[in-house]
Amino acid sequence: MKAEIITIGDEILIGQIVDTNSQFIGQQLNKIGVSVYQITSIQDDQQHILNALQEAQERVDIVIITGGLGPTKDDITKKTIAQFFNDDEIVEYPEVIAHIKGLFKKINHPFREVQRYQAQLPSKATLLMNNFGTAPGMWFYENETVFVSLPGVPYEMKGLITNKVLPKIQQQFKLPFILHKTIMTYGQGESTIAEIIEDFEDSLPNHIKLAYLPSFGRVRLRLSAKGDNKIKLEKELNDKVEAIYKLIPDIITGLDDDSSLEKRVGELLQKNNQTICTAESVTGGKIASNLVSVAGSSAYYKGSFVTYSAATKIDLLGVLPITIEKYTVVSKEVALEMAKGAKQKLNTNYAVSVTGNAGPTTDHNDKSVGLVYIAIVSDDHEFVGEFNFGQPREKVIHRTVSKALELLQKEILKN
């Protein structure tokens, strides 16, 4: 089964809101074996909507539409859908009016006649009662294509997808299984990884696909399998994962997003009953943010110093003024003194510090934009690494965070 998601609303196209609805719908359809082939965002314009529905009908088996079901004049989805189905008659559903009145009574809100429009639907529609709002969903089956129209309000859409739409799709169609395994890697770019595992990738059967999902400092490798036998698919995927582990063992931290580097670092620290703190300049607290995003991080994370100026490096971390004068704030010497100062003040087993030039300017020093120093100090070892992460600013910051966590994991494992 192939599906297309159509989101309707000028607010999406001008960037006023982010389309999280499509992300959720795509995830939920995938779980039941429906493949999303396209996501389309269009204006609140009648002809655009009609064109999008016609084109989607020619491409896919299921079309899910969100938005444009409110009671105001700019919400034109219902009338347009009625026109798409050959000027289908609009009828009023008394049960929807009773539902709306019940919702308003609970919050002591008067029922206004404009709300009656919410209960008026094309006669060909199968009503999908919205338990969390006033606009019901609609289900159509026309020319062997399912059309589902849902409100754009995220929590209302999610309730209808979960409780009404997915069960109805599963009841009406025989669906395959779609399974995924995602391997988390750090420290190598996608081109390097692709070269190492090229023979493995070329040997994959047609029903198993490999996708590279790169971000700053990390690459996720997603294996996807589709078929009718779930047990067989699971075994095949597990075998493929094991094969990848043998090819690139040094850069893999685990499976899926639950195996993020920050989580892996936390698990190692807890296992060893050790603690850590951070001292950040160029990253402005993002390393700390990543570490504390893991539930239970208070067991091993003691705190952070965000010392964005030379003065705060001196006052809070005890960096010597002569060190800054001689080497500048962007130097291995300053990075090391930052880590030592943080470790001493918070009495931890490990301290990580970063200092560098994220750009676009070099902040009155002679070091190039993109140059970063990362220091790690433990109870019995000191390390400082020099890196050039290039440009732009966002890339430098995110790659610094990833590299710092990667080096920290290696240091803990080494010890």
* 137 phi/psi in degrees, rounded to 5: -85, 165
Listed residues 172, 192, 214: the one ending a domain: 172
Helix/strand number for the chain, H first, E second = 16, 17
Quote the tokens at residue 32. Answer: 């039941």
- Written as one letter, the residue type at 101 is K
Distance CA(411)–CA(382), nearest Å, equals 10
The percentage of residues in the chain with a pLDDT greater than 70, rounded to a whole number, is 97
Q: Which of 172, 205, 225 represents a domain boundary (last residue)? A: 172
The boundaries of the domain holding residue 44 are 2-172
Q: What is the pLDDT of residue 110?
A: 85
Same domain, 212 and 305: no
Q: How far apart are CA 48 and CA 56, in angstroms?
A: 12
Whether 108 and 215 map to the same domain: the answer is no
Q: Closest by alpha carbon to 148, among 26, 65, 263?
A: 65
- Residue 168: CB atoms within 10 A of its CB come to 15
Respond yes or no on whether the N-terminal peptide bond of residue 154 is cis (omega within 30° of 0). Answer: no
Based on the fold, state whether residues 241 and 271 are members of the same structural domain. Answer: no
CATH of the domain at 373: 3.90.950.20
- The per-residue pLDDT for range 268-277, each reduced to its tens digit, is 999 999 999 9
Do 250 and 273 belong to one domain? Answer: no
- Please state, rounded to an integer, the average pLDDT across all residues of the chain: 91
Domain containing 182 — which CATH number?
Answer: 3.30.70.2860
Q: Are 276 and 269 in contact (CB under 8 A)?
A: yes
Given pLDDT bands bounded at 50, 70 and 90, which one contains residue 415?
A: confident
Say whether both 224 and 293 belong to one domain.
no
Q: Within this chain, do residues 286 and 394 fall inside the same structural domain, yes or no?
A: yes
Question: Prior bond to 249 cis, omega within 30?
Answer: no
Q: Do 144 and 208 share a domain, yes or no? A: no
What pLDDT was estimated at residue 405?
Answer: 93
List, for residues 9-59, the tens digit of each pLDDT value: 888 888 888 899 999 999 999 999 999 999 999 988 899 999 999 999 999
Q: Where does a domain end: 137, 172, 207?
A: 172
Let me know: does 39 contact 7? Beta carbons within 8 Å: yes
Question: How far is the C-alpha of 292 from the C-alpha of 289, rounded, in Å?
Answer: 5
229 and 297, same domain (yes or no): no
- Count Cβ atoms below 10 Å from residue 260 Cβ, excluding itself: 19
Q: Where are the beta strands (DSSP E) in 129-171?
A: 137-142, 145-150
Contact 224, 179 (CB under 8 A): yes
User: What contacts 336, CB < 8 A, 6 or more positions away?
Assistant: 353, 375, 377, 382, 384
More confident residue, 289 or 260: 289
Distances (CA, A) of 27 to 30, 153, 158, 166, 208: 5, 17, 11, 12, 18
Among 333, 392, 381, residue whose Cα is nearest residue 357: 392
DSSP state of 370: T
Cα→Cα distances 150→64, 65, 133, Å: 8, 6, 11
Sign for the CA dihedral angle at 323, 327, 328, 331 comes to negative
> Within this chain, do residues 214 and 344 fall inside the same structural domain, yes or no?
no
Count how many domains the chain has. 3
Return the sign of the alpha-carbon dihedral for residues 384, 389, 393, 395. Answer: negative
Report percent pLDDT > 90 for the chain.
Answer: 69
**278 and 349: one domain?**
yes
Neighbours of 175 (CB within 10 A): 15
* 302 plus 401 within the same structural domain: yes
What per-residue string of b and e applies to 359-397 under the rule 16 or more CB within 10 Å gives b? Answer: beebbeeebebbbbbbbbbbeeeebbeebebeeeeebbb
Tell me how far apart the alpha carbons of residues 21 and 6 are, in angstroms, rounded to a whole number. 10
Residue pointed to by tokens 């003065």? 311
Residue that the structure tokens 């539930």 belong to? 295
Q: How confident is the model at residue 114 (pLDDT cuts 50, 70, 90)?
A: confident
Tell me: pLDDT of 172 over 70.
yes
pTM of the model: 0.68
Helix (H, G, I), strand (E, B) or coil at 191: helix
Nearest to 195 by CA among 219, 174, 215: 219
Asked whether residue 19 falls in the same domain as residue 153, the answer is: yes
What's the average model confidence in pLDDT over 356-364? Answer: 76
The pLDDT confidence band at residue 362, using thresholds 50, 70 and 90, is: low
Stated as kind and residue range, the H or E segment containing 94 is helix 94-106
Specify the CATH number for the domain of residue 89: 3.40.980.10
Say how far apart CA 54 and CA 80 lie, in whole Å: 12
